[in-house]
């Protein structure tokens, strides 16, 4: 096996998971919003981008969904480069933002544990919607003609390298944006809400409003992650958005890397994804998915015991002025 | 002072918690300026009255006016914007944020609290932060917490957390501050400087204080007028001397404590 091309494929997936981990770091790490329905935003982002870019449904291939694809017929957008890829990402972000606004508006007045139940329920609802409503996205047969970024301009053997560049560029841009936002007074208000909602309210902050903003921004980032995922795997079916691999594993990444620290969120994604994919080369019983999940569980327990805040953990923000 | 309308008016306010009537047809007026003491036996409804005025809870019935404006049922961040700030009996500090951050959080409105500000106008946010930090360091000097600037607030002692609560209200540049037992857990030496800080803030910064306190000596020295509550309503309102001589107060609460301390 070509180790370099394998590493590229690994880095693409780890990079995409790092995007989700950054989104969760806004929800949980900064604001303390207990979102255990990441899979819902993951699916919504992925399907939105896929349906905007996939080939039109072909009855000969038993595709019976209604909408989708072939925007190249719209002349002025057929520029030879894949504009629809970017529009798909933007649409995924917007779709997740709108849904987060609706969900957040009704659930963020609830206490933490109710938000957890609500997000979990909504994620399952999204998955079952795409499974049962075949006219939307082909049901359990899934979408399997999602185009590559740049279409056929890149030879298949080089595609992973090009796409790795795209994923890393998006990841770096999101990292900078989230890092700036969480270090700003806006992020300070979010951390105050995480620490004590009542005290934040008594300090004059509109807690509900800030929680809604954080929930939407995190969901938008998760939507972008979903879109990147769709164009990498290029096959989407409801089974992809199983809570185990689309929610739990992302929580593991943030916990291991360091909740409240964006670098930790990214580090955790690469570490956990490394263990998850690395263990599949182990012989015999160790190759079993259950054992591999056990390994991730063991990693979480080890990190929590040795470094409760995660490998990197939240940084203390010191005074800027030098005191004399 | 007598010509201007009262800063705070509580009119016939009732608050029921299930079958318990915590505040019972309570009416009280507080003039602008000065330090008002609010005393009364445990369960008199003092903290509930603070919760009602600050907006932590809404009254069952009755009206509350701040500067002539109805405020009952408002959220705490809304009364905060009107200049009405409160502290908590049990300090509520942001534990995993530094003392300085706890204070820098408070001033409002901050340009940097908009999510896009750090992307679109980082220099403006940086300038604003520098000036807020200067203000916070001054307040920390004032309450004797400057040596703990970069400490996590969760690591402070009980008394230091009380001082942090007071510091938080000073950061807000408020018109009225409601202090719920600011002296509880603060040692004797620090108590003197705490009283001095409150007095100084009320004069220099034109802040009207209302203080719930069980330390009778502190209340009698620092506060004028004094309001006495019992069973959810006001039973006496006057100067320390008047209140101490009010037979109803003696019966309900003060008893021998007054003669001990005077």
Q: Measured in Å, how far apart are chain A's first and last C-alpha atoms?
A: 62
pLDDT higher than threshold 70 for residue A76: no
User: Do the Cβ atoms of A185 and B125 come within 8 Å?
Assistant: yes
Distance CA B101, CA A188 (A): 8
Give yes or no for a contact between A232 and A16, defined as CB atoms under 8 angstroms apart: yes
Query: What tens digit of pLDDT does each residue of B59-83 get?
Result: 999 999 999 999 999 999 999 999 9
Whole-number CA gyration radius for chain B: 19
Helices then strands (H, E): number in chain B?
A: 11, 10
> What pLDDT, in 10s, does the model give residues A216-226?
999 999 999 99
State the residue range of the domain holding B9.
Answer: 1-90+172-262
**Do B176 and B65 fall into the same domain?**
yes
Residue ranges in chain A assigned as alpha helix (H): 3-24, 38-53, 83-107, 112-132, 134-137, 156-183, 185-195, 197-202, 207-233, 243, 249-257, 262-278, 289-306
pLDDT of residue A323 exceeding 70, the answer is no
Q: Which of B74, B97, B132, B136 to mutate to test the interface with A (most CBs of A within 10 A)?
A: B97
For B95-120, what is the mean pLDDT? 95
* Tally of structural domains, chain B: 2
pLDDT at position B8 is 96
Boundary-marking domain end, from B112, B146, B171:
B171
For chain A, the structural domain boundaries read 3-242
Query: Complex ipTM, two decimals?
Result: 0.91
What's the average model confidence in pLDDT over B85-97?
94
Partners of residue A205 in chain B, C-beta under 8 Å: 77, 105, 108, 113
Q: How confident is the model at residue A75 (pLDDT cuts 50, 70, 90)?
A: low
- Same domain for B137 and B219? no
Least confident of A46-55, A66-75, A232-241, B107-116: A66-75
Report the mean per-residue pLDDT for chain A: 88
Nearest CA to CA, how far is B145 from chain A (Å)? 14
Is A60 a residue whose pLDDT tops 80?
no
Burial annotation A278-306 (CB, 10 A radius, 16+ → b, else e): ebeeeeeeeeeeeebbebbeebbeebeee
What is the pLDDT averaged over residues A45-52? 92
What whole-number distance in Å separates Cα of residue A199 and Cα of residue B102?
10
Q: How much is the pLDDT for B185? A: 81
B63 and B180: one domain? yes
Mean pLDDT (whole number) for B38-50: 93
User: Is the same domain home to B66 and B149?
Assistant: no
What pLDDT shows up at residue B177? Answer: 96
Nearest one of B137, B145, B188 to B165, comparing CA atoms:
B145
* pLDDT score, position A134: 82
CB neighbour burial string for A112-140, b if at least 16 within 10 angstroms, e if fewer: eeebbebbbebbeebbebbbeeeebbbbe
Of A195, A202, A204, the CB nearest to B95: A195
Task: Please report, for the domain that includes residue B228, its CATH number.
Answer: 3.40.50.300
| Nearest C-alpha in A relative to B111 | A185
Look at residues B119, B150, B171 and tell me which one is the last residue of a structural domain. Answer: B171
Task: Give the minimum alpha-carbon distance from A254 to chain B in angstroms, rounded to a whole number.
Answer: 18
3-state secondary structure of B24: strand
**Hey, of B76, B117, B162, B165, which one would you mutate to test binding to chain A, going by the most A CBs within 10 A of its CB?**
B76
CB pairs A-B closer than 8 Å: 120
Given a cut of 60, whether residue A1 has pLDDT beyond it is no
Say yes or no: B214 and B160 in one domain. no
* Lowest-pLDDT range of A56-70, A86-100, A216-230, A288-302: A56-70
Both B81 and B6 in one domain: the answer is yes
Determine whether the interchain pair B95/A177 forms a contact, defined as Cβ–Cβ distance below 8 Å. no
- For residues B186 and B76, state if they share a domain: yes
Whether residue B128 sits in one domain with residue B2: no
pLDDT in tens, B214-241: 888 899 999 989 999 999 999 999 999 9
């Amino acid at each position: 096996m070509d180790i370099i091309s394998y590493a590229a494929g690994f880095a693409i997936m780890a990079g995409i998971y790092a995007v989700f981990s950054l989104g969760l770091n806004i929800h949980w790490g900064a604001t303390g919003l207990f979102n255990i329905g990441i899979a819902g935003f993951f699916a919504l982002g992925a399907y939105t981008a896929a349906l905007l870019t996939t080939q039109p449904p072909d009855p000969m291939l038993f595709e019976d969904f209604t909408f989708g694809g072939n925007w190249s017929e719209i002349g002025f957008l057929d520029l030879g480069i894949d504009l629809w890829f970017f529009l798909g990402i933007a649409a995924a972000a917007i779709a997740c933002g709108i849904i987060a606004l609706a969900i957040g508006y009704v659930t963020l007045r609830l206490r933490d544990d109710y938000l957890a139940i609500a997000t979990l329920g909504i994620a399952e609802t999204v998955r079952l919607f795409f499974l049962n409503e075949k006219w939307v996205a082909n049901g359990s047969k899934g979408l399997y003609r999602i185009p590559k970024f740049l279409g056929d301009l890149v030879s298949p053997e080089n595609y992973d390298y090009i796409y790795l560049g795209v994923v890393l560029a998006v990841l770096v841009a999101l990292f900078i944006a989230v890092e700036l936002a969480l270090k700003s007074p806006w992020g300070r208000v979010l951390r105050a809400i995480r620490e004590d909602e009542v005290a934040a309210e008594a300090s004059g902050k509109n807690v509900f409003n800030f929680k809604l903003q954080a929930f939407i921004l995190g969901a938008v980032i998760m939507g972008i992650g979903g879109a990147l995922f769709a164009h990498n795997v290029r096959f989407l079916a409801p089974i992809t958005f199983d809570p185990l691999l689309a929610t739990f594993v992302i929580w593991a990444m943030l916990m291991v890397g360091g909740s409240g620290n964006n670098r930790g969120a990214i580090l955790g994604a690469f570490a956990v994804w490394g263990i998850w994919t690395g263990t599949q080369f182990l012989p015999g019983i160790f190759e079993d998915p259950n054992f591999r999940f056990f390994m991730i569980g063991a990693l979480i327990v080890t990190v929590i015991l040795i470094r409760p805040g995660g490998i990197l953990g939240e940084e203390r923000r010191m005074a800027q002025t030098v005191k004399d | 002072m007598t010509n201007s309308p009262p800063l705070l008016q509580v009119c016939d306010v009732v608050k029921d918690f299930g079958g318990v009537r915590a505040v019972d047809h309570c009416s009280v007026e507080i003039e602008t300026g000065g330090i008002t003491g609010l005393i009364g036996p445990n369960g008199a409804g003092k903290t509930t009255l603070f919760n009602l005025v600050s907006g932590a809870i809404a009254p069952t019935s009755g009206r509350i006016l701040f500067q002539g404006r109805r405020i009952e049922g408002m959220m705490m961040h809304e009364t905060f914007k009107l200049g009405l700030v409160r502290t908590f009996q049990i300090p509520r500090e942001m534990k995993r944020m530094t003392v300085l951050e706890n204070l820098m959080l408070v001033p409002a409105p901050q340009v940097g609290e908009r999510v896009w500000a750090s992307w679109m106008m980082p220099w403006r946010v940086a300038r604003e932060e520098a000036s807020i930090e200067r203000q916070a360091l001054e307040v920390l000097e004032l309450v004797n917490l400057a040596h703990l600037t970069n400490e996590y607030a969760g690591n402070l002692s009980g008394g230091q957390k009380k001082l942090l609560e007071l510091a938080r209200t000073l950061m807000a540049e408020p018109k009225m501050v409601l202090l719920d037992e600011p002296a509880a857990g603060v040692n004797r030496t620090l108590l003197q400087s705490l009283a001095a800080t409150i007095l100084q803030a009320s004069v220099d910064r034109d802040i009207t204080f209302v203080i719930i306190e069980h330390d009778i000596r502190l209340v009698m020295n620092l506060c004028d007028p004094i309001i006495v509550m019992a069973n959810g309503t006001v039973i006496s309102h006057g100067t320390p001397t008047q209140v101490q001589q009010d037979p109803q107060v003696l019966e309900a609460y003060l008893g021998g404590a007054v003669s001990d301390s005077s």
